[in-house]
Homo-oligomer: A and B are copies of this chain.
Amino acid sequence: MTTAVSDQDQPPGEEEASERVRGLLDIGAQLFAEKGFEATSMRDISQAAGVSKALLYHHFKSKDDIYARIAFLATQHLNTFVEERIPASGTAAEKVRAYMRASATFFAEHRTAWMAASTAFWSDPDRHRMEIRIARRRQFETRLRDLIREGVENGEFEPVDPAITGRLILSGINWMHRWWSPDGERSAQQIADDYADIILKGMIRRTS
């Protein structure tokens, strides 16, 4: 999570995440991924980071707070990461594929952050922070629907429903956390490509 929080959608009173805070969040995310959220204690995080528990509690109210901030930063990081990888020119099919590959890559590289970001219903005690997170998540999903709509409108795709097609695409990527392993035969990006092959084949308009 190297992307700084922009001023624009910063919760009131939340300072820009400092290097130290981001470092602690990265260590937290790594431990949650390895041991699971429940099994990870504040002591584990402070020990892994080589800081005192007092310092950890200076920056974060609780373990839940750490998770909430991982989720908050991750939603922004994800949107930026994906956006940067969608070619400005190119066909809608190329853009949809780029979106899928970028999402799968982000998932593979930041698994805890991805999970935190994709759990839209998960409740953050800081209501304003939660609303921003959910809005960013919606933006992520809307981006895909817009790409599909672009292809429908320019005649490149069959008249598919952008909402349900987008849902199926994101289900494929979201469900990867339940079965995909970095030790497996195919990278997350290759799986995304396989899925894109299947779905785009059904969407691309047949020239008769």
Contact = CB atoms under 8 A, between A and B. Distances in A.
A81 B174 CA distance: 26
For the side of the interface on A, what is the size category? Answer: 20 to 34
A202 B196 CA distance: 11
B164 A175 contact: no
Contacts of A176: 171
A88 interface: no
Tell me if A's interface is mostly helix, strand, loop or mixed: helix
A37 B203 CA distance: 40
Interface in A50-104: none
The number of times this chain is found in the oligomer is: 2
A135 interface: no
B206 A206 contact: yes
A21 interface: no
Contacts of A194: 161, 164, 168
Contacts of A195: 164, 168
Contact of A191 (B164, B170, B200): B164
A198 B206 contact: no
Interface string A179-208: 100000000000100110011111100100
Interface of A: 121, 158, 160-161, 164-165, 167-168, 170-172, 174-176, 178-179, 191, 194-195, 198-203, 206
